[in-house]
Amino acid sequence: MANAIADILKQAQSDNRIDENDALTLLNVRGAKLHSIFAAADAVRQTRVGDSVSYVINRNINFTNICIGSCGFCAFHARKDDPDAYFLPVDEIVKRVVEARQTGATEVGIFSGLHPDVDGNTYVEILEAVKNAVPDIHIHAYSPAEVAYGAEKLGISYVDMLKMLKKAGLDSMPGTAAEILVDDVRKKLCPQKIDTKTWTEIIVNAHRVGIPTTCTIMYGHIESYEDVVNHLRLLRTIQDETGGFTEFVPLSFIHYNTPIYRAGIARPGATGREDLLIYAVGRLYLDNIPNIQVSWVKLGTKFAQIALICGANDLGGTLIDENITRTAGGTFGQSLAPNDFVRIITDLGRTPRVRDTLYRTQSY
């Protein structure tokens, strides 16, 4: 086993692709042998993207928590008549974007529940209003699930929906709604949500019409390591075809308030070993995705810092108003100041770098 691990790590560092069996072997490693995996991932990170650690000044706007969906891992959604249900008018969304720009944000993230009264035209209206008010803000919006929903409500194709959104000002999309891209898992986790084929179709077409996306994995619930590997294989295959993924963002499952955890179906999130391994294996296996982002919202700043020496090179965004993790029981806050990022990064001996959504360096 020790030799097998050493061979896999040597192969990954020599620019020869490791395969799915190799990734699975690494995900099963325990004990002190983990150090060699983290060190190899850190070395590959250094070779591919250097020593800087990037982050973006951004704000998230979840304009409604009302959703027709019932994903078992989600504590964010509400029904229309729930006391905490909300639906922000377009004017309020624009007001929040203006505030974000005034405080230095270069990006706004706009994503929400699947509101029964919303369709693709609503998504277009929001984009146009935001771009009209703040033309130079980068709009990172609408998951593949929202794109599918918007298109289906209008009775148009996903490609036409994507083109409409791009024309209205959509600059990039989150590759969320991916969770685990294995339908047997999705049937238990989020049976009403788009399936793997639809997610893939929307992402590939987004890339083809010129909308870059992130890619994500949500892990630590009901999935097996084989499912994780199948998910990673799909991401690597898509990236080979389109080159449209800007970064890989592992999202550790926050279990506390979620239906699947309360029903005893899901485990209580990933372990620390699993958290660090997903960054390391992501770095070693996804040789065609340059950036690996740590979610400080999920991991907290202390553990996020350690993930930066296990293959990751980006700390995501300052995220004024983060809501989705908080409602699931996350306790690491709704925003971080740039100084907090600088402290974590320089403490590791690395160089902070403020970036835009597409990883171009910004001054702040």
Residues that bind ligand SF4 (CB under 6 A): 67, 69-71, 74, 76-77, 113-114, 145, 190
Q: Minimal CA–CA distance to 308: which of 35, 51, 58, 33?
A: 51
- For residues 69 and 338, which CB has a smaller minimum distance to ligand SF4 in the complex? 69
Distance (Å, whole) CA 296 – CA 333? 9
Minimum separation from the CB atom of position 344 to ligand SF4 (A)? 29
In degrees, rounded to 5, the angle at the alpha carbon of residue 87 between the alpha carbons of residues 85 and 90 is 170
Minimum separation from the CB atom of position 190 to ligand SF4 (A)? 6
Minimum separation from the CB atom of position 231 to ligand SF4 (A)? 17
Distance (Å, whole) CA 252 – CA 217? 8
- For residues 174 and 352, which CB has a smaller minimum distance to ligand SF4 in the complex? 174
Distance (Å, whole) CA 338 – CA 149? 35
- For residues 49 and 61, which CB has a smaller minimum distance to ligand SF4 in the complex? 61
- For residues 77 and 96, which CB has a smaller minimum distance to ligand SF4 in the complex? 77
Minimum separation from the CB atom of position 140 to ligand SF4 (A)? 16
Other C-beta atoms closer than 10 Å to the C-beta of 265 total 15
In order of 74, 292, 295, 356, the CA distances from 313 in angstroms are 28, 6, 11, 14
Distance (Å, whole) CA 93 – CA 116? 19
- For residues 97 and 218, which CB has a smaller minimum distance to ligand SF4 in the complex? 218
What the block records as the tokens of 32 is: 């002190």
Other C-beta atoms closer than 10 Å to the C-beta of 281 total 28
Minimum separation from the CB atom of position 126 to ligand SF4 (A)? 16
206 Cβ contact list (under 8 Å, min separation 6): 144, 147, 162, 173, 212, 213, 244
The amino acid sitting at 337 is: A
Minimum separation from the CB atom of position 142 to ligand SF4 (A)? 12
- For residues 151 and 281, which CB has a smaller minimum distance to ligand SF4 in the complex? 151
- For residues 70 and 331, which CB has a smaller minimum distance to ligand SF4 in the complex? 70
What the block records as the tokens of 152 is: 């289906």
- For residues 79 and 273, which CB has a smaller minimum distance to ligand SF4 in the complex? 79
Q: Minimal CA–CA distance to 309: which of 56, 45, 47?
A: 45
